[in-house]
Chain A
Amino acid sequence: MNGIIVYSELEETALGLLTKGRELATELDKPLSVALLGNEAAGQVDVYFTHGATKAYVGDDRALTHFQARTYAAALAQVVTQAEADIILIGSTRRGRELAPRLAQKLTAGCVTNAMGLSIQDDRLVIERRSLGGNTISTKIITSPQQVIAVMPKLYDALPEAAVVGEVIPVSLELEPLTTRLMERRPKEAGIVNLEEADVLVCVGRGLDNEDDLSLIHALADSLGGMVGCTRPISHEYHWLSEDQMVGLSGKESSPRLYIAIGISGQIQHTVGIMDAKVIVAINNDANAPIFKVADYGIVGDLYQVVPKLIEKLRSELGRRR
Protein backbone atom coordinates (compact mmCIF):
# COMPACT_ATOMS: atom_id res chain seq x y z
CA MET A 1 0.00 0.00 0.00
CA ASN A 2 1.49 3.25 -1.06
CA GLY A 3 -0.61 6.13 -2.19
CA ILE A 4 -2.61 9.14 -1.22
CA ILE A 5 -6.22 9.34 -2.28
CA VAL A 6 -8.53 12.31 -1.91
CA TYR A 7 -12.31 12.31 -1.71
CA SER A 8 -14.95 14.94 -1.13
CA GLU A 9 -18.47 15.23 -2.42
CA LEU A 10 -17.68 18.90 -3.03
CA GLU A 11 -15.42 19.64 -5.95
CA GLU A 12 -13.96 22.76 -4.36
CA THR A 13 -13.06 20.83 -1.21
CA ALA A 14 -11.56 17.94 -3.16
CA LEU A 15 -9.41 20.38 -5.16
CA GLY A 16 -8.18 21.97 -1.93
CA LEU A 17 -7.29 18.53 -0.57
CA LEU A 18 -5.36 17.82 -3.77
CA THR A 19 -3.24 20.90 -3.07
CA LYS A 20 -2.22 19.50 0.32
CA GLY A 21 -2.13 15.98 -1.09
CA ARG A 22 0.34 17.08 -3.77
CA GLU A 23 2.65 18.51 -1.11
CA LEU A 24 2.48 15.34 1.00
CA ALA A 25 2.84 13.14 -2.07
CA THR A 26 6.05 14.91 -3.04
CA GLU A 27 7.49 14.71 0.48
CA LEU A 28 6.53 11.08 1.02
CA ASP A 29 7.12 10.01 -2.57
CA LYS A 30 3.67 8.59 -3.06
CA PRO A 31 1.27 8.78 -6.00
CA LEU A 32 -1.72 11.09 -5.62
CA SER A 33 -5.14 10.14 -6.88
CA VAL A 34 -8.72 11.26 -6.49
CA ALA A 35 -11.81 9.16 -5.85
CA LEU A 36 -15.06 10.09 -7.56
CA LEU A 37 -18.24 8.47 -6.39
CA GLY A 38 -21.77 8.76 -7.57
CA ASN A 39 -23.96 8.63 -10.57
CA GLU A 40 -22.22 9.96 -13.62
CA ALA A 41 -19.11 10.85 -11.62
CA ALA A 42 -17.02 9.98 -14.66
CA GLY A 43 -17.97 13.12 -16.52
CA GLN A 44 -16.09 15.42 -14.16
CA VAL A 45 -12.55 14.09 -13.97
CA ASP A 46 -10.51 16.59 -15.98
CA VAL A 47 -10.59 19.32 -13.38
CA TYR A 48 -8.83 17.02 -10.90
CA PHE A 49 -6.03 16.22 -13.34
CA THR A 50 -5.39 19.88 -13.96
CA HIS A 51 -5.19 20.45 -10.19
CA GLY A 52 -2.80 17.80 -8.95
CA ALA A 53 -4.21 14.29 -9.35
CA THR A 54 -2.55 11.85 -11.70
CA LYS A 55 -5.17 9.15 -11.43
CA ALA A 56 -8.92 9.25 -10.90
CA TYR A 57 -10.70 6.20 -9.55
CA VAL A 58 -14.31 6.42 -10.57
CA GLY A 59 -17.03 4.44 -8.86
CA ASP A 60 -20.34 4.84 -10.58
CA ASP A 61 -23.35 3.04 -9.22
CA ARG A 62 -27.05 3.66 -8.85
CA ALA A 63 -26.77 3.03 -5.11
CA LEU A 64 -24.64 6.17 -4.90
CA THR A 65 -27.31 8.54 -6.20
CA HIS A 66 -27.91 9.87 -2.71
CA PHE A 67 -25.37 9.98 0.04
CA GLN A 68 -25.71 7.23 2.57
CA ALA A 69 -22.76 6.72 4.89
CA ARG A 70 -22.96 2.94 4.81
CA THR A 71 -23.00 2.65 1.02
CA TYR A 72 -20.47 5.40 0.44
CA ALA A 73 -18.09 3.88 2.97
CA ALA A 74 -18.41 0.51 1.26
CA ALA A 75 -17.78 2.10 -2.14
CA LEU A 76 -14.83 4.15 -0.96
CA ALA A 77 -13.29 1.13 0.77
CA GLN A 78 -13.37 -0.73 -2.54
CA VAL A 79 -11.81 2.24 -4.33
CA VAL A 80 -9.10 2.57 -1.67
CA THR A 81 -8.29 -1.13 -1.94
CA GLN A 82 -7.98 -0.98 -5.71
CA ALA A 83 -5.87 2.19 -5.49
CA GLU A 84 -3.74 0.59 -2.76
CA ALA A 85 -3.88 3.87 -0.90
CA ASP A 86 -2.60 4.16 2.67
CA ILE A 87 -3.44 7.82 3.25
CA ILE A 88 -7.06 8.74 2.66
CA LEU A 89 -7.94 12.43 2.81
CA ILE A 90 -11.64 13.25 3.04
CA GLY A 91 -13.28 16.67 3.22
CA SER A 92 -14.56 17.11 6.78
CA THR A 93 -17.98 18.28 5.68
CA ARG A 94 -20.94 16.79 7.52
CA ARG A 95 -21.17 13.98 5.02
CA GLY A 96 -17.42 13.55 5.19
CA ARG A 97 -17.53 13.28 8.96
CA GLU A 98 -20.09 10.49 8.69
CA LEU A 99 -18.11 8.77 6.00
CA ALA A 100 -14.53 8.94 7.27
CA PRO A 101 -14.92 7.04 10.59
CA ARG A 102 -17.09 4.42 8.96
CA LEU A 103 -14.50 3.89 6.24
CA ALA A 104 -11.78 3.76 8.90
CA GLN A 105 -13.68 1.10 10.81
CA LYS A 106 -14.06 -0.92 7.61
CA LEU A 107 -10.30 -0.71 7.11
CA THR A 108 -9.59 -1.26 10.85
CA ALA A 109 -7.75 2.02 10.63
CA GLY A 110 -7.26 5.05 12.82
CA CYS A 111 -9.09 8.21 11.91
CA VAL A 112 -8.85 11.88 12.73
CA THR A 113 -11.76 14.16 11.83
CA ASN A 114 -11.85 17.95 11.64
CA ALA A 115 -8.11 18.04 10.99
CA MET A 116 -6.88 21.63 10.77
CA GLY A 117 -3.27 20.98 9.90
CA LEU A 118 -1.16 18.25 8.29
CA SER A 119 2.61 18.13 8.22
CA ILE A 120 5.42 15.64 7.85
CA GLN A 121 7.69 15.42 10.89
CA ASP A 122 10.31 12.68 11.16
CA ASP A 123 8.69 10.90 8.23
CA ARG A 124 5.40 10.77 10.10
CA LEU A 125 2.19 12.47 9.11
CA VAL A 126 1.35 14.70 12.06
CA ILE A 127 -2.24 15.89 12.30
CA GLU A 128 -3.54 18.86 14.26
CA ARG A 129 -7.07 19.20 15.51
CA ARG A 130 -8.93 20.95 18.27
CA SER A 131 -9.35 19.21 21.58
CA LEU A 132 -10.99 19.76 24.95
CA GLY A 133 -13.83 21.79 23.53
CA GLY A 134 -11.46 24.03 21.60
CA ASN A 135 -9.38 24.97 24.61
CA THR A 136 -6.39 23.16 23.14
CA ILE A 137 -4.95 21.88 19.89
CA SER A 138 -3.80 18.28 19.90
CA THR A 139 -1.23 16.83 17.57
CA LYS A 140 -1.74 13.20 16.65
CA ILE A 141 -0.35 10.46 14.50
CA ILE A 142 -2.24 7.48 13.18
CA THR A 143 -0.33 4.23 13.70
CA SER A 144 -2.45 1.78 11.71
CA PRO A 145 -1.20 0.83 8.22
CA GLN A 146 -3.92 2.93 6.63
CA GLN A 147 -4.85 6.40 7.81
CA VAL A 148 -8.16 8.13 7.29
CA ILE A 149 -8.10 11.87 7.82
CA ALA A 150 -11.09 14.16 7.45
CA VAL A 151 -9.68 17.62 6.79
CA MET A 152 -11.60 20.84 7.45
CA PRO A 153 -12.95 22.25 4.20
CA LYS A 154 -11.55 25.52 2.91
CA LEU A 155 -8.12 25.10 4.53
CA TYR A 156 -6.38 24.92 1.19
CA ASP A 157 -6.95 26.69 -2.11
CA ALA A 158 -6.91 24.80 -5.39
CA LEU A 159 -3.57 24.67 -7.20
CA PRO A 160 -3.18 26.82 -10.28
CA GLU A 161 -4.33 24.97 -13.33
CA ALA A 162 -1.72 22.91 -15.12
CA ALA A 163 -2.15 20.99 -18.33
CA VAL A 164 -1.86 17.39 -17.18
CA VAL A 165 -3.33 14.28 -18.70
CA GLY A 166 -4.34 11.78 -16.07
CA GLU A 167 -5.54 8.25 -16.07
CA VAL A 168 -9.17 7.39 -15.44
CA ILE A 169 -9.63 4.06 -13.69
CA PRO A 170 -13.16 2.74 -13.43
CA VAL A 171 -13.85 0.72 -10.28
CA SER A 172 -16.56 -1.89 -10.52
CA LEU A 173 -18.34 -1.66 -7.22
CA GLU A 174 -20.29 -4.29 -5.38
CA LEU A 175 -22.79 -2.51 -3.22
CA GLU A 176 -25.72 -3.62 -1.15
CA PRO A 177 -29.04 -1.89 -1.74
CA LEU A 178 -29.72 1.30 0.18
CA THR A 179 -31.10 0.88 3.67
CA THR A 180 -32.17 4.47 4.08
CA ARG A 181 -34.46 6.46 1.84
CA LEU A 182 -34.06 10.14 1.16
CA MET A 183 -37.65 11.37 1.10
CA GLU A 184 -37.12 15.05 0.71
CA ARG A 185 -34.50 17.74 0.62
CA ARG A 186 -35.74 21.08 1.70
CA PRO A 187 -33.92 24.36 1.78
CA LYS A 188 -33.27 25.70 5.23
CA GLU A 189 -35.73 28.22 6.54
CA ALA A 190 -34.49 31.76 6.61
CA GLY A 191 -33.97 31.48 10.35
CA ILE A 192 -31.58 28.58 10.03
CA VAL A 193 -28.21 29.93 9.08
CA ASN A 194 -25.10 27.96 8.51
CA LEU A 195 -22.42 29.87 10.31
CA GLU A 196 -19.81 27.21 9.62
CA GLU A 197 -19.95 28.31 6.02
CA ALA A 198 -19.75 32.05 6.64
CA ASP A 199 -17.12 34.04 4.75
CA VAL A 200 -17.83 37.04 6.91
CA LEU A 201 -19.30 36.62 10.38
CA VAL A 202 -20.56 39.44 12.57
CA CYS A 203 -21.24 38.37 16.15
CA VAL A 204 -23.00 40.28 18.87
CA GLY A 205 -22.89 39.88 22.63
CA ARG A 206 -24.26 41.34 25.82
CA GLY A 207 -23.15 44.83 24.82
CA LEU A 208 -26.34 45.18 22.78
CA ASP A 209 -29.04 46.96 24.80
CA ASN A 210 -32.23 45.94 22.99
CA GLU A 211 -33.46 43.29 20.65
CA ASP A 212 -34.53 46.01 18.20
CA ASP A 213 -30.92 47.11 17.91
CA LEU A 214 -30.15 43.85 16.14
CA SER A 215 -31.10 45.73 12.97
CA LEU A 216 -27.82 47.58 13.35
CA ILE A 217 -25.89 44.30 13.50
CA HIS A 218 -27.76 42.93 10.50
CA ALA A 219 -27.08 46.12 8.58
CA LEU A 220 -23.36 45.74 9.21
CA ALA A 221 -23.45 42.08 8.16
CA ASP A 222 -25.40 43.02 5.02
CA SER A 223 -22.88 45.69 4.08
CA LEU A 224 -20.22 42.96 4.12
CA GLY A 225 -22.33 40.15 2.67
CA GLY A 226 -21.90 38.34 5.97
CA MET A 227 -23.89 36.32 8.48
CA VAL A 228 -24.92 37.17 12.03
CA GLY A 229 -23.99 35.09 15.03
CA CYS A 230 -23.98 35.68 18.76
CA THR A 231 -22.73 34.67 22.17
CA ARG A 232 -24.65 32.30 24.41
CA PRO A 233 -26.65 34.91 26.40
CA ILE A 234 -28.15 36.43 23.24
CA SER A 235 -29.52 33.12 21.97
CA HIS A 236 -30.03 31.05 25.11
CA GLU A 237 -30.97 33.67 27.72
CA TYR A 238 -32.55 36.56 25.80
CA HIS A 239 -33.67 34.45 22.80
CA TRP A 240 -33.04 37.39 20.47
CA LEU A 241 -31.42 35.09 17.94
CA SER A 242 -31.86 31.38 17.31
CA GLU A 243 -29.75 28.80 19.11
CA ASP A 244 -28.35 27.90 15.68
CA GLN A 245 -26.63 31.24 15.72
CA MET A 246 -24.63 30.74 18.90
CA VAL A 247 -20.91 30.65 18.25
CA GLY A 248 -18.49 28.95 20.60
CA LEU A 249 -18.38 26.02 22.96
CA SER A 250 -21.44 23.79 22.44
CA GLY A 251 -22.42 26.08 19.58
CA LYS A 252 -21.06 26.71 16.14
CA GLU A 253 -17.48 26.90 15.02
CA SER A 254 -16.61 29.07 12.08
CA SER A 255 -13.50 29.98 10.17
CA PRO A 256 -14.54 33.05 8.20
CA ARG A 257 -12.20 35.38 6.36
CA LEU A 258 -13.43 38.16 8.57
CA TYR A 259 -14.96 37.98 12.02
CA ILE A 260 -16.27 41.07 13.80
CA ALA A 261 -17.10 40.91 17.51
CA ILE A 262 -19.53 43.58 18.68
CA GLY A 263 -20.15 44.14 22.36
CA ILE A 264 -18.54 40.81 23.16
CA SER A 265 -16.28 40.58 26.18
CA GLY A 266 -14.37 37.65 24.73
CA GLN A 267 -14.73 34.73 27.13
CA ILE A 268 -12.88 31.68 25.90
CA GLN A 269 -16.20 29.82 25.61
CA HIS A 270 -17.11 32.12 22.76
CA THR A 271 -13.74 32.77 21.16
CA VAL A 272 -12.90 29.08 20.68
CA GLY A 273 -15.55 29.18 17.97
CA ILE A 274 -13.73 31.74 15.85
CA MET A 275 -10.04 31.01 16.51
CA ASP A 276 -9.54 30.08 12.87
CA ALA A 277 -10.90 33.34 11.48
CA LYS A 278 -8.36 34.95 9.19
CA VAL A 279 -8.90 38.45 10.56
CA ILE A 280 -10.59 39.33 13.84
CA VAL A 281 -12.01 42.79 14.55
CA ALA A 282 -13.37 43.73 17.97
CA ILE A 283 -15.61 46.62 18.94
CA ASN A 284 -16.14 47.11 22.65
CA ASN A 285 -16.41 50.05 25.02
CA ASP A 286 -14.26 48.35 27.65
CA ALA A 287 -10.59 48.73 26.72
CA ASN A 288 -9.75 45.87 29.09
CA ALA A 289 -12.16 43.37 27.51
CA PRO A 290 -10.36 40.08 26.78
CA ILE A 291 -11.65 40.15 23.20
CA PHE A 292 -8.96 42.73 22.35
CA LYS A 293 -6.29 40.18 23.27
CA VAL A 294 -7.43 37.83 20.52
CA ALA A 295 -8.21 40.50 17.92
CA ASP A 296 -6.16 41.81 15.03
CA TYR A 297 -7.90 45.18 15.06
CA GLY A 298 -9.86 46.74 17.86
CA ILE A 299 -11.93 49.87 18.20
CA VAL A 300 -12.52 50.94 21.77
CA GLY A 301 -15.84 52.73 21.76
CA ASP A 302 -19.58 52.60 22.13
CA LEU A 303 -20.94 50.16 19.59
CA TYR A 304 -23.87 52.51 18.93
CA GLN A 305 -21.38 55.09 17.69
CA VAL A 306 -18.89 52.78 16.02
CA VAL A 307 -21.18 50.45 14.08
CA PRO A 308 -23.17 53.13 12.16
CA LYS A 309 -19.92 54.85 11.18
CA LEU A 310 -18.43 51.54 10.11
CA ILE A 311 -21.49 50.72 7.98
CA GLU A 312 -21.32 54.16 6.36
CA LYS A 313 -17.61 53.78 5.61
CA LEU A 314 -18.02 50.26 4.24
CA ARG A 315 -20.92 51.31 2.07
CA SER A 316 -18.92 54.13 0.58
CA GLU A 317 -15.98 51.80 -0.03
CA LEU A 318 -17.88 48.79 -1.28
CA GLY A 319 -21.26 50.11 -2.29
CA ARG A 320 -20.22 51.58 -5.59
CA ARG A 321 -19.88 48.20 -7.22
CA ARG A 322 -23.17 46.90 -5.88
Chain B
Amino acid sequence: MNIIVCMKQVIDLEQIRIKPKTREPVIEGLPFLFGDFEKCALEEAVRIKEKHGGKVTALAVGSPKLRDTIKEALAIGADEAIILIEPIFQDSDAMGSARVLAKAIEKVGEYDLILLGDSSADEYSGEIPPRIAELLDLPQVGFVREIEVMTDNDQMPGTKKIRVVRDMEDALEVVEMALPAVVGVTSELNTPRLAPLSAILKASRKPLNEWGPDDIGVTADELGPKALVVEVLSNLAPIQDRKGINYQDVEEGVAEVVKALKQEGVLTQ
Protein backbone atom coordinates (compact mmCIF):
# COMPACT_ATOMS: atom_id res chain seq x y z
CA MET B 1 0.00 0.00 0.00
CA ASN B 2 1.45 3.29 -1.03
CA ILE B 3 -0.20 6.10 0.85
CA ILE B 4 0.08 9.82 0.32
CA VAL B 5 -0.89 11.95 3.31
CA CYS B 6 -1.68 15.57 2.52
CA MET B 7 -0.96 17.81 5.48
CA LYS B 8 -1.49 21.48 6.17
CA GLN B 9 0.53 23.41 8.69
CA VAL B 10 -1.59 25.85 10.69
CA ILE B 11 -0.59 28.48 13.19
CA ASP B 12 -1.13 27.55 16.80
CA LEU B 13 -4.73 28.69 17.08
CA GLU B 14 -4.68 28.60 20.87
CA GLN B 15 -2.14 31.40 20.88
CA ILE B 16 -4.10 33.84 18.75
CA ARG B 17 -4.83 37.11 20.53
CA ILE B 18 -7.31 39.72 19.40
CA LYS B 19 -6.55 43.46 19.35
CA PRO B 20 -9.41 44.84 21.46
CA LYS B 21 -9.86 48.08 19.50
CA THR B 22 -9.69 46.81 15.93
CA ARG B 23 -10.79 43.20 16.57
CA GLU B 24 -7.88 42.10 14.40
CA PRO B 25 -6.22 38.77 15.16
CA VAL B 26 -2.52 38.85 16.03
CA ILE B 27 -0.95 35.94 14.21
CA GLU B 28 2.53 37.17 13.31
CA GLY B 29 5.29 35.06 14.75
CA LEU B 30 3.05 32.29 16.04
CA PRO B 31 4.44 28.77 15.68
CA PHE B 32 3.12 26.41 13.02
CA LEU B 33 1.93 22.92 13.75
CA PHE B 34 -0.17 20.18 12.24
CA GLY B 35 -3.79 19.89 13.28
CA ASP B 36 -5.24 16.85 15.04
CA PHE B 37 -7.02 15.61 11.93
CA GLU B 38 -3.88 15.50 9.81
CA LYS B 39 -1.89 13.83 12.55
CA CYS B 40 -4.58 11.15 12.71
CA ALA B 41 -4.40 10.74 8.92
CA LEU B 42 -0.64 10.29 9.14
CA GLU B 43 -0.87 7.94 12.10
CA GLU B 44 -3.36 5.77 10.23
CA ALA B 45 -1.14 5.70 7.16
CA VAL B 46 1.80 4.56 9.26
CA ARG B 47 -0.33 1.87 10.95
CA ILE B 48 -1.55 0.58 7.58
CA LYS B 49 2.04 0.49 6.33
CA GLU B 50 3.21 -1.35 9.43
CA LYS B 51 0.55 -3.99 8.84
CA HIS B 52 0.47 -4.27 5.06
CA GLY B 53 3.80 -2.88 3.92
CA GLY B 54 4.30 -0.11 1.39
CA LYS B 55 5.36 3.46 1.70
CA VAL B 56 4.02 6.63 3.31
CA THR B 57 4.66 9.98 1.66
CA ALA B 58 3.78 13.21 3.43
CA LEU B 59 2.83 16.04 1.10
CA ALA B 60 2.31 19.65 2.07
CA VAL B 61 1.97 23.07 0.48
CA GLY B 62 2.63 26.19 2.52
CA SER B 63 5.22 28.64 3.81
CA PRO B 64 8.96 27.84 4.14
CA LYS B 65 8.28 27.08 7.81
CA LEU B 66 7.20 23.71 6.45
CA ARG B 67 10.86 22.74 6.35
CA ASP B 68 10.64 22.52 10.14
CA THR B 69 7.01 21.55 10.55
CA ILE B 70 7.25 18.58 8.21
CA LYS B 71 9.92 16.98 10.39
CA GLU B 72 7.22 15.91 12.79
CA ALA B 73 5.57 13.94 9.99
CA LEU B 74 8.86 12.22 9.19
CA ALA B 75 9.42 11.51 12.88
CA ILE B 76 5.96 9.98 13.29
CA GLY B 77 6.68 7.61 10.45
CA ALA B 78 6.40 9.05 6.95
CA ASP B 79 9.13 7.55 4.76
CA GLU B 80 9.51 10.62 2.64
CA ALA B 81 8.16 14.14 2.48
CA ILE B 82 7.45 16.52 -0.35
CA ILE B 83 6.92 20.18 0.39
CA LEU B 84 5.86 22.96 -1.96
CA ILE B 85 6.98 26.22 -0.44
CA GLU B 86 7.80 28.58 -3.29
CA PRO B 87 6.17 32.01 -3.06
CA ILE B 88 3.94 31.28 -6.06
CA PHE B 89 2.23 28.54 -4.05
CA GLN B 90 1.42 30.93 -1.22
CA ASP B 91 -1.77 32.86 -0.93
CA SER B 92 -3.70 30.34 -2.95
CA ASP B 93 -7.33 29.71 -2.21
CA ALA B 94 -8.67 26.19 -1.78
CA MET B 95 -8.94 25.66 -5.53
CA GLY B 96 -5.31 26.70 -6.06
CA SER B 97 -4.04 24.54 -3.21
CA ALA B 98 -6.03 21.56 -4.41
CA ARG B 99 -4.62 22.00 -7.90
CA VAL B 100 -1.05 22.05 -6.57
CA LEU B 101 -1.64 19.00 -4.38
CA ALA B 102 -3.32 17.06 -7.20
CA LYS B 103 -0.46 17.85 -9.56
CA ALA B 104 2.07 16.75 -6.96
CA ILE B 105 0.12 13.54 -6.34
CA GLU B 106 0.15 12.83 -10.08
CA LYS B 107 3.89 13.33 -10.11
CA VAL B 108 4.33 10.92 -7.19
CA GLY B 109 2.43 8.56 -9.44
CA GLU B 110 2.14 5.30 -7.57
CA TYR B 111 -0.43 5.52 -4.84
CA ASP B 112 -3.26 3.43 -3.51
CA LEU B 113 -4.71 5.77 -0.96
CA ILE B 114 -4.75 9.50 -0.33
CA LEU B 115 -5.38 10.25 3.31
CA LEU B 116 -5.95 13.67 4.75
CA GLY B 117 -7.62 15.46 7.58
CA ASP B 118 -11.27 15.97 6.76
CA SER B 119 -10.79 19.68 7.25
CA SER B 120 -8.03 21.87 8.60
CA ALA B 121 -8.08 23.18 12.14
CA ASP B 122 -7.92 26.82 11.08
CA GLU B 123 -10.49 27.18 8.33
CA TYR B 124 -12.45 23.96 8.67
CA SER B 125 -13.64 24.30 5.10
CA GLY B 126 -13.24 20.66 4.07
CA GLU B 127 -12.72 21.76 0.48
CA ILE B 128 -9.42 20.06 -0.24
CA PRO B 129 -10.45 16.36 -0.15
CA PRO B 130 -13.41 16.73 -2.55
CA ARG B 131 -11.48 19.03 -4.87
CA ILE B 132 -8.47 16.71 -5.05
CA ALA B 133 -10.78 13.75 -5.62
CA GLU B 134 -12.49 15.59 -8.46
CA LEU B 135 -9.21 16.64 -10.06
CA LEU B 136 -7.93 13.06 -9.93
CA ASP B 137 -11.36 11.59 -10.74
CA LEU B 138 -11.33 9.36 -7.68
CA PRO B 139 -14.00 8.29 -5.23
CA GLN B 140 -14.04 10.25 -2.01
CA VAL B 141 -15.38 9.69 1.47
CA GLY B 142 -15.15 12.04 4.41
CA PHE B 143 -15.86 12.03 8.15
CA VAL B 144 -14.10 8.67 8.38
CA ARG B 145 -13.49 7.25 11.85
CA GLU B 146 -12.41 3.69 10.98
CA ILE B 147 -10.42 2.29 8.06
CA GLU B 148 -9.94 -1.38 7.31
CA VAL B 149 -7.80 -2.59 4.42
CA MET B 150 -9.45 -5.62 2.87
CA THR B 151 -6.76 -8.02 1.80
CA ASP B 152 -8.93 -10.94 0.77
CA ASN B 153 -10.89 -9.72 -2.13
CA ASP B 154 -12.66 -12.65 -3.74
CA GLN B 155 -14.86 -10.65 -6.02
CA MET B 156 -12.09 -8.69 -7.62
CA PRO B 157 -8.82 -10.58 -7.27
CA GLY B 158 -5.77 -8.39 -7.44
CA THR B 159 -7.64 -5.20 -6.63
CA LYS B 160 -7.23 -3.40 -3.37
CA LYS B 161 -10.21 -2.36 -1.36
CA ILE B 162 -10.97 -0.58 1.87
CA ARG B 163 -13.93 -0.55 4.18
CA VAL B 164 -14.50 2.64 6.14
CA VAL B 165 -16.92 3.75 8.79
CA ARG B 166 -18.02 7.30 8.34
CA ASP B 167 -19.76 9.42 10.88
CA MET B 168 -22.80 11.15 9.47
CA GLU B 169 -25.26 13.27 11.43
CA ASP B 170 -27.89 10.60 11.73
CA ALA B 171 -25.98 7.33 11.53
CA LEU B 172 -22.69 5.59 10.96
CA GLU B 173 -22.20 4.43 7.39
CA VAL B 174 -20.07 1.46 6.44
CA VAL B 175 -18.76 2.02 2.92
CA GLU B 176 -16.53 -0.14 0.75
CA MET B 177 -14.57 1.07 -2.21
CA ALA B 178 -11.85 0.01 -4.58
CA LEU B 179 -8.59 1.91 -4.44
CA PRO B 180 -7.24 4.40 -5.22
CA ALA B 181 -9.51 6.71 -3.26
CA VAL B 182 -9.43 9.93 -1.28
CA VAL B 183 -10.31 9.54 2.40
CA GLY B 184 -10.86 12.44 4.79
CA VAL B 185 -10.53 11.47 8.43
CA THR B 186 -11.61 12.83 11.80
CA SER B 187 -9.83 12.65 15.14
CA GLU B 188 -11.93 9.69 16.31
CA LEU B 189 -9.86 7.51 13.98
CA ASN B 190 -6.94 6.91 16.33
CA THR B 191 -4.64 8.47 18.89
CA PRO B 192 -1.52 9.67 17.09
CA ARG B 193 1.75 8.51 18.60
CA LEU B 194 4.27 10.92 20.00
CA ALA B 195 7.48 10.57 18.08
CA PRO B 196 10.29 9.26 20.32
CA LEU B 197 13.48 11.31 20.43
CA SER B 198 15.35 8.72 18.38
CA ALA B 199 12.77 9.04 15.60
CA ILE B 200 13.03 12.80 15.69
CA LEU B 201 16.79 12.53 15.24
CA LYS B 202 16.42 10.03 12.42
CA ALA B 203 13.80 12.16 10.69
CA SER B 204 16.36 14.58 9.35
CA ARG B 205 18.00 11.72 7.44
CA LYS B 206 14.80 10.86 5.57
CA PRO B 207 14.25 12.29 2.07
CA LEU B 208 12.73 15.77 2.14
CA ASN B 209 12.00 17.02 -1.35
CA GLU B 210 11.14 20.57 -2.30
CA TRP B 211 9.18 20.83 -5.50
CA GLY B 212 8.58 23.98 -7.50
CA PRO B 213 6.04 24.83 -10.21
CA ASP B 214 8.18 23.29 -12.94
CA ASP B 215 8.43 20.01 -11.06
CA ILE B 216 4.67 19.56 -11.03
CA GLY B 217 3.95 21.25 -14.34
CA VAL B 218 1.89 24.26 -13.35
CA THR B 219 2.27 27.75 -14.70
CA ALA B 220 2.03 31.08 -12.93
CA ASP B 221 -1.38 31.68 -14.54
CA GLU B 222 -2.79 28.67 -12.78
CA LEU B 223 -1.47 29.76 -9.40
CA GLY B 224 -1.21 32.70 -7.08
CA PRO B 225 -3.23 35.89 -7.17
CA LYS B 226 -4.31 35.51 -10.80
CA ALA B 227 -5.99 32.22 -10.12
CA LEU B 228 -7.92 33.24 -7.02
CA VAL B 229 -11.64 32.54 -7.14
CA VAL B 230 -12.33 33.52 -3.54
CA GLU B 231 -11.37 36.93 -2.18
CA VAL B 232 -11.20 37.69 1.53
CA LEU B 233 -12.63 41.13 2.32
CA SER B 234 -12.04 41.12 6.06
CA ASN B 235 -11.20 38.79 8.91
CA LEU B 236 -12.04 40.10 12.36
CA ALA B 237 -13.13 38.80 15.74
CA PRO B 238 -16.92 38.85 16.08
CA ILE B 239 -18.69 41.62 17.94
CA GLN B 240 -20.24 40.30 21.11
CA ASP B 241 -23.75 41.51 21.63
CA ARG B 242 -24.89 39.37 24.51
CA LYS B 243 -27.21 40.75 27.16
CA GLY B 244 -24.86 40.15 30.09
CA ILE B 245 -27.56 40.08 32.79
CA ASN B 246 -26.10 38.49 35.93
CA TYR B 247 -27.72 37.46 39.18
CA GLN B 248 -25.76 37.17 42.43
CA ASP B 249 -28.60 35.57 44.36
CA VAL B 250 -29.29 31.96 43.50
CA GLU B 251 -33.04 31.91 44.21
CA GLU B 252 -33.65 35.12 42.32
CA GLY B 253 -31.32 34.05 39.51
CA VAL B 254 -33.06 30.73 38.92
CA ALA B 255 -36.52 32.32 38.91
CA GLU B 256 -35.53 35.20 36.67
CA VAL B 257 -33.52 33.11 34.21
CA VAL B 258 -36.34 30.60 33.74
CA LYS B 259 -38.75 33.49 33.23
CA ALA B 260 -36.43 35.07 30.68
CA LEU B 261 -35.91 31.79 28.82
CA LYS B 262 -39.66 31.40 28.53
CA GLN B 263 -39.92 34.89 27.12
CA GLU B 264 -37.09 34.24 24.69
CA GLY B 265 -39.05 31.26 23.44
CA VAL B 266 -36.21 28.80 23.91
CA LEU B 267 -38.11 26.48 26.25
CA THR B 268 -40.38 24.53 23.99
CA GLN B 269 -40.89 21.23 25.72
Contacts and interface: CB of A to CB of B under 8 A. Distances in A.
A250 B171 contact: no
A139 B234 contact: yes
Nearest to B128: A101
B248 A132 contact: no
A180 interface: yes
A38 interface: no
Interface string B224-238: 000011111111111
Contacts of B178: 179
Given A94-B168, A110-B95, A102 B134 contact: yes
A262 B101 CA distance: 44
B250 A101 contact: no
A313 B258 contact: yes
A162 interface: no
B219 interface: no
Contact of B142 (A94, A244, A294, A317): A94
B242 A187 contact: no
Interface of B: 10-11, 13-14, 16, 18, 23, 25, 27, 35-36, 93-95, 98, 119, 121-131, 133-135, 138-143, 163, 167-178, 181, 187-188, 228-238, 240, 242-248, 250-251, 253-258, 260-262, 264, 266-269
7 contacts: A98-B140, A141-B233, A181-B177, A281-B261, A296-B242, A299-B247, A317-B262
Contacts of B269: 224-225, 318, 321-322
Contacts of B237: 135-137
| Contact-residue size bin, chain A (C-beta under 8 Å from the other chain) | 35 or more
Given A105-B98, A135-B237, A137-B235, A180 B16 contact: no
A250 B236 contact: no
A131 B122 contact: yes
Interface stretch (A54-62, A68-76, A166-174): A68-76
Contacts of A185: 171-174
A110 B93 contact: yes
B124 A98 contact: no
Given A94-B143, A99-B130, A300-B246, A314 B231 contact: no
B255 A313 contact: yes
Interface string A144-174: 1000000000000000000000000000000
9 closest Cβ pairs, A-B complex:
A110-B229, A133-B13, A299-B253, A102-B130, A298-B246, A105-B134, A101-B127, A101-B130, A184-B174
Given A132-B122, A137-B236, A188-B171, A143 B230 contact: yes
A233 interface: no
A292 B98 contact: no
A275 B98 CA distance: 30
Given A94-B168, A131-B235, A182-B175, A292 B248 contact: no
Contacts of A182: 173-175
Contacts of A105: 95, 98, 130-131, 134-135
A106 B134 CA distance: 7
A71 B223 CA distance: 28
A296 B254 contact: no
A179 B242 CA distance: 48
A23 B27 CA distance: 37
Interface string A215-227: 0000000001100
A101 B122 contact: no
A129 B238 CA distance: 11
B34 to A, nearest CB: 12
A249 B266 CA distance: 25
Contacts of A299: 246-247, 250, 253-254, 257
Nearest to B135: A105
Contact of B267 (A99, A183, A302, A317): A317
B142 A97 contact: yes
A93 B143 CA distance: 11
Contacts of A131: 122-123, 235
B130 A300 contact: no
Interface stretch (A29-37, A40-48, A203-211, A303-311): A303-311
Contacts of B229: 108-110, 142-144
A112 B233 CA distance: 13
